[in-house]
C-alpha cells in the first residue's frame, strides 16, 4: 500500500496544508496543496500538483475544522494510507532543536513555551490536539521555526540584560526557520556555489524577517525572543525602543494585554497607514498614508539588511521570498535602491516580470526571487522523524 504524509502550517486565519505521496524513495511527491480558511467564512480549497482545482467549497459551521480537512483528504487518498502528520510549530525554546514525535508529554512541554509566543503557539497547538483527538493512532511530528537558528553565535543571540536571564532562555531565537531551511536547500539545488555565497534571505509575508546565512546556516536574524522584533510587518511593530513600552505601561497606564494587542495586531503597516496591513491593498491605494507605510517598510528592511551584512562580513546574494517578497516588484525595488551603496543593482525589467534572477549583470550582489515552500520542509522532517 502507498503511504502519504500530511504537512500542516497553521497561521492566524487559515491552515495551509500539503499532502505528499511517500512511495518514491528519494523525493516526496506533492499530491495536493491547499488551505483550510477558518474565521467568519470557513472554506476548504485544494489544488493538485499541476494546479487543477480539486476542491473549493464553503464549510458548514459545525464541520469546519481539521475534521473537515481530514475527511476530504481521506476521500482523496484512494489506495494510499495517511501514515504521519507534520506541523509547523512557531516556538521550540531551547529544548526543541529538531523535529520531534508529538506524544502527550511533548505536547505539554511545547504548551509550556506559550508565554514565549502567546499568540502563535496556541495556533500551532490547536490542530495537533484536534488531530490527536480524531486519529489517536496517527503519528504526529512537530517541526520548529526556531530550530534553523540554533547555529547563531551567542554574541548574536544575547541581550544586554543581567546575565542570569540569558541562562534562563531570555535571548534571541529567531523564527521563519522552515522557510529559511527550504530556501537554503533550494539555493543548493540550483548550485552549491550559489549556496556558499554570503546570503541574506528576506522572508516578507504578513510576518517578516531576514536571515543571514553562511554556507546555508543561519548566522543572524531579525526576529528575536518573540516574533515582534526586527522588520515592520503587516500588523506587528518590529524593532522598537523598549522605553516606549515602559512609557505606555508606567505613564499611560495601558494594561499588558492591551499593549500586546497593539504591538501584534494594530501596528506595522496597518498602524502607520491606518488603512490596511495587507501590502497588496496598500499598493493599490492612492492615499498618501499608504505610500508612506510602503516606503517605511522598505526603509526599515534595507536598514536591517545592512546590519545583517555586517554580521556576515559582506553580502553576495539577496533572496526575496514569501507573499511580498515573491510578488511585490515595488517593494523589492524600493529595498534594493536603498542598498545601492552595498553594490546591489536591480534589473528593473527582470524585477517587474518577477524573474528568478533580478540583479543586473554588473551587480556585486546576486538578487533572486525564490518561492518558499514550508510545507515540503514539514513533510520531509516528518518523514525523517518517522524513519528515525
Query: Could you give the residue numbers annotated as active site?
Result: 145
User: 259 in the Ramachandran plot: left (φ > 0), alpha (ψ -120 to 50) or beta?
Assistant: alpha
Alpha helices in the chain (DSSP H): 66-76, 104-111, 120-134, 154-157, 164-167, 177-190, 192-195, 242-246, 256-265, 268-273, 279-284, 288-312, 322-327, 329-338, 348-352, 374-387
Within 291-330, which residues bind ligand ADP (CB under 6 A)? 322-324, 327-328
| Residues that constitute the known binding site for ATP | 16, 203-207, 278-280, 323-327
Q: How far is the CB of 10 from ligand ADP (least distance, A)?
A: 11
Kindly tell me the sign of the dihedral angle through the C-alpha atoms of 251, 252, 257, 263.
negative
Considering only 46-54, 111-119, 135-143, 272-280, which stretch makes contact with ligand ADP by CB under 6 A?
272-280
The nearer residue to ligand ADP, 111 or 283, going by C-beta atoms, is 283
How many residues bind ligand ADP, per CB under 6 A?
14
Instruction: Please report whether residue 205 would count as binding ligand ADP according to CB under 6 A.
Output: yes
CA angle 46, 47, 48 (to 5 degrees): 130
Figure out which of the listed residues 150, 206, 222, 376 binds ligand ADP, where binding follows CB under 6 A. Answer: 206
Instruction: Please report whether residue 201 would count as binding ligand ADP according to CB under 6 A.
Output: no
- Interaction pattern, residues 158-197, with ligand ADP; x per rule: CB under 6 A: ----------------------------------------
Instruction: Please report whether residue 221 would count as binding ligand ADP according to CB under 6 A.
Output: no
Nearest residue to 309 via CA among 269, 351, 338, 334: 338
Figure out which of the listed residues 210, 279, 308, 334 binds ligand ADP, where binding follows CB under 6 A. Answer: 279
Contact set with ligand ADP (CB under 6 A): 11, 205-207, 234, 278-280, 283, 322-324, 327-328
Amino acid at each position: 500500500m502507498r503511504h502519504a504524509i500530511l504537512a500542516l502550517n497553521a497561521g492566524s486565519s487559515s491552515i495551509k496544508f500539503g499532502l505528499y505521496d511517500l512511495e518514491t524513495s528519494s523525493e516526496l511527491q506533492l499530491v495536493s496543496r491547499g488551505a483550510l480558511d477558518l474565521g467568519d467564512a470557513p472554506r476548504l480549497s485544494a489544488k493538485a500538483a499541476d494546479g487543477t482545482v480539486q476542491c473549493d467549497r464553503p464549510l458548514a459551521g459545525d464541520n469546519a475544522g481539521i475534521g473537515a480537512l481530514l475527511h476530504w483528504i481521506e476521500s482523496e487518498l484512494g489506495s494510499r494510507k495517511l501514515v504521519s502528520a507534520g506541523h509547523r510549530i512557531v516556538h521550540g525554546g531551547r529544548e526543541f532543536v529538531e523535529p520531534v514525535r508529538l506524544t502527550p508529554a511533548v505536547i505539554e512541554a511545547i504548551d509550556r513555551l506559550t508565554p514565549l509566543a502567546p499568540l502563535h503557539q496556541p495556533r500551532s497547538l490547536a490542530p495537533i490536539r484536534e488531530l490527536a483527538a480524531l486519529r489517536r493512532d496517527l503519528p504526529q511530528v512537530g517541526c520548529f521555526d526556531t530550530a534553523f537558528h540554533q547555529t547563531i553565535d551567542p554574541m548574536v543571540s544575547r541581550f544586554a540584560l543581567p546575565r542570569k536571564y540569558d541562562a534562563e532562555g531570555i535571548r534571541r531565537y529567531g523564527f521563519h526557520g522552515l522557510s529559511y531551511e527550504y530556501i537554503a536547500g533550494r539555493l543548493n539545488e540550483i548550485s552549491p556555489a550559489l549556496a556558499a555565497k554570503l546570503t541574506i534571505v528576506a522572508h516578507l509575508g504578513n510576518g517578516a524577517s531576514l536571515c543571514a546565512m553562511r554556507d546555508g546556516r543561519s548566522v543572524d536574524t531579525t526576529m528575536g525572543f518573540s516574533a515582534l522584533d526586527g522588520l515592520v510587518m503587516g500588523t506587528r511593530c518590529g524593532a522598537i525602543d523598549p522605553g516606549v513600552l515602559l512609557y505606555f505601561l508606567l505613564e499611560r497606564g495601558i494594561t499588558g494585554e492591551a499593549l500586546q494587542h497593539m504591538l501584534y495586531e494594530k501596528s506595522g503597516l496597518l498602524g502607520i497607514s491606518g488603512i490596511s496591513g495587507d501590502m497588496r491593498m496598500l499598493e493599490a491605494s492612492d492615499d498618501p498614508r499608504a505610500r508612506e507605510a510602503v516606503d517605511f517598510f522598505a526603509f526599515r528592511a534595507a536598514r536591517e539588511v545592512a546590519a545583517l551584512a555586517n554580521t556576515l562580513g559582506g553580502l553576495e546574494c539577496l533572496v526575496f521570498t514569501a507573499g511580498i517578497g515573491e510578488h511585490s516588484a515595488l517593494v523589492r525595488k524600493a529595498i534594493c535602491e536603498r542598498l545601492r551603496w552595498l553594490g546591489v543593482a536591480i534589473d528593473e525589467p527582470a524585477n517587474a516580470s518577477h524573474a528568478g534572477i533580478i540583479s543586473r549583470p554588473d551587480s556585486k550582489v546576486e538578487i533572486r526571487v525564490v518561492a518558499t515552500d514550508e510545507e515540503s520542509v514539514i513533510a520531509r522532517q516528518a518523514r525523517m522523524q518517522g524513519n528515525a
